[in-house]
């Protein structure tokens, strides 16, 4: 992986720094590089790189402040004039509205229809692939919804060192870009184990600021974090002449290499042959995720039976309130312990929080617990299991832009087949479903006479489990 700092400045101009932008290549000389943010001046910096702006077909945005998106429309036009008519823009929720609004400006409507600009919105916690890179998103603390990104290439780590004088060489490992953010433990945990972290450090310690960190705050947040090198970026004019003091302030808390980024700085996140590769972040989490999945399946699988038993002593609405009161207290404790934010990122978050609390949590479970007084636990589990199966279908009707791909369609069919099996786990039905989905017939699945039973007896036999949601 090769990373080039195109712009290391901020919304306030500095002569030798343009606004935020990074070029991330899966390998040196890659002809499909990824542009991360596109502030004013980034298009000019791109023209000075080996790939050039013509090669940039994908832009990944951290957030929508002007100093991170100002050159997006100029990039579209420059590529169009160069004969490149396709561009993919990826970013946090609201990115599609941003792009639509840019093309809706009267003077620029002539570009609409001349270029094919596709938009993909991603959320915190999402893992996805772009331009030959595996990417993970994490929500930061900023005045506008913003995502930090962790990048890992898919290739090996044996490679070459950077060749020119304006480049740094680093051993293999992940690269993390903070976007704009305060410094806090959650973001430090997200970057833990990376080789290189580029972090917002907009102001020196003398400036009292929100939504961005000071050097001392950054060093304190990164204390104990396993990161080899930190680059300070998103620098306001206030930092000019204070770089050495800023580095020293960070190093008082962080035991690692600290440097100030500059426009044109490039590092290759690869080492010489023989360097032992650190396990990929995703590889390190396999066992933890598997254990978490099994634990969650066990908790959810027994929840309906436990609820049925508790309803003998508690009214359904009170039981729902007690259950989610305990869950909320646990969630707050975990958020505080991991440094995750508890406050809404903006007014736009209030409506979904209130609606989700009132309907998805409150009313939903009050009705669910009330209904469990009258039906077996397995029936309740089966009906609730329809939610993740039918939700993509409903979403397709309400959001025609969000298409269900082939994998998603197979997932819906498999989920529905699973519900049918839970409702009536009979060998004949298993065989029929396997034949319907084209699965190979197995001699181990043998038909047997199907006993006649009361309508709910099969649900009672299945009362010990429920589908994962």
pLDDT in tens, 203-235: 999 999 999 999 999 999 999 999 999 999 999
For 321-333, the pLDDT digits (tens) are 888 888 888 888 8
Residue 304 belongs to some domain of the structure:
no
The rounded distance, in Å, linking the Cα atoms of 80 and 90 is 19
CATH number of the domain encompassing residue 165: 3.60.15.10
What is the model's pLDDT at position 369?
Answer: 77
Do 217 and 103 fall within a single domain? yes
Tell me: the pLDDT tens digits for 381-409?
A: 767 777 777 777 777 777 666 666 777 77
Angle between helices 427-436 and 406-423 (to 10 degrees): 170
Based on the fold, state whether residues 63 and 211 are members of the same structural domain. yes
Give residue-wise pLDDT tens across range 166-211.
455 444 579 999 999 999 999 999 999 999 999 999 999 999 999 9
The number of distinct structural domains making up the chain is 3
Higher model confidence: residue 44 or residue 156? 44
- 256 and 330 co-located in one domain: no
Residue 445 is predicted with a pLDDT of 42
- Do 125 and 69 lie in one domain? The reply is yes
Task: Write out the two tokens for 318.
Answer: 């009170």
Q: Which pairing describes strands 229-233 and 196-200: parallel, antiparallel, or unpaired?
A: parallel
Are 212 and 251 in the same domain?
yes
Domain identity same for 326 and 435:
no
Domain boundary among 329, 351, 371: 371
Sheet holding 257-260, edge to edge: 127-130, 133-139, 147-153, 175-177, 196-200, 229-233, 257-260
Q: Each residue of 336-388: pLDDT tens digit? A: 776 666 666 556 667 778 888 888 777 877 787 788 778 776 677 767 777 77
210 φψ region: left (φ > 0), alpha (ψ -120 to 50), beta (else): beta
Whether 295 maps to a domain, the answer reads no
- The reported pLDDT for the residue numbered 204 is 96
78-80-85-90 Cα dihedral, nearest 10 degrees: 30
Q: Residue 155 has what pLDDT?
A: 53
Residue 467 has pLDDT above 60, yes or no: no
What is the span of the domain harbouring residue 349? 312-371
One domain for residues 441 and 411? yes
The residue with greater pLDDT, 390 or 103, is: 103
Same domain, 387 and 347: no
d(CA 73, CA 89): 11
444 — pLDDT class (breaks 50, 70, 90): very low
């Amino acid at each position: 992986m090769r990373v080039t700092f195109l712009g290391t400045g901020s919304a306030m101009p500095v002569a030798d720094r343009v606004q935020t932008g990074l070029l991330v290549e899966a390998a040196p000389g890659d002809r499909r590089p990824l542009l991360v943010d596109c502030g004013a001046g980034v298009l000019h910096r791109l023209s000075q790189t080996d790939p050039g702006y013509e090669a940039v077909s994908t832009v990944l945005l951290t957030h929508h402040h002007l100093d991170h998106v100002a050159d997006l429309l100029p990039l579209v036009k420059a590529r169009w004039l160069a004969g490149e008519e396709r561009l993919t823009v990826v970013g946090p929720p609201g990115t599609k509205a941003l792009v639509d609004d840019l093309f809706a400006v009267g003077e620029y409507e002539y570009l609409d229809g001349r270029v094919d600009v596709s938009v993909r919105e991603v959320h915190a916690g999402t893992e996805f692939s772009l331009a030959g890179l595996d990417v993970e998103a994490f929500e930061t603390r900023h005045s506008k919804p913003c995502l930090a990104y962790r990048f890992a290439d898919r290739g090996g780590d044996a490679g070459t060192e950077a060749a020119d004088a304006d480049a740094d060489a680093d051993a293999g490992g992940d690269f993390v870009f903070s976007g704009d953010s305060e410094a806090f433990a959650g973001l430090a945990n997200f970057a833990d184990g990376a080789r290189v972290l580029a972090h917002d450090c907009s102001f020196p310690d003398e400036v009292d600021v929100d939504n961005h960190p000071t050097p001392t705050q950054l060093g304190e947040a990164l204390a104990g974090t396993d990161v080899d090198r930190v680059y300070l970026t998103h620098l306001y004019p206030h930092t000019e002449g204070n770089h050495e003091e800023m580095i020293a302030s960070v190093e008082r808390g962080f035991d690692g290499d600290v440097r100030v980024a500059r426009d044109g700085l490039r590092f290759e996140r690869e080492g010489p042959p023989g360097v032992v590769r650190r396990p990929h972040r995703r590889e390190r989490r396999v066992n933890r995720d598997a254990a978490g999945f099994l634990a969650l399946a066990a908790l959810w699988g027994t929840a309906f039976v436990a609820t049925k038993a508790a309803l003998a002593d508690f009214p359904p609405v009170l039981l729902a309130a007690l259950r989610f009161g305990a869950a909320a207290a646990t969630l707050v404790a975990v958020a505080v312990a991991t440094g995750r934010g508890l406050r809404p990122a903006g007014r736009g978050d209030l409506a979904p929080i209130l609606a989700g609390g009132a309907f998805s949590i409150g009313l939903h479970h009050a009705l669910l617990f009330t209904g469990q007084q009258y039906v077996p636990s397995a029936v309740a589990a089966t009906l609730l299991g329809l939610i993740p199966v039918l939700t993509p279908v409903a979403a397709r009707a309400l959001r025609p832009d969000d298409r269900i791909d082939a994998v998603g369609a197979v997932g819906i069919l498999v989920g529905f087949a699973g519900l049918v099996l839970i409702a009536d786990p009979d060998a004949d039905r298993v065989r029929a479903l396997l034949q319907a989905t084209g699965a190979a017939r197995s001699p181990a699945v043998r038909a047997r006479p199907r006993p006649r039973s009361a309508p709910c007896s099969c649900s009672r036999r299945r009362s010990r489990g429920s589908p994962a949601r």
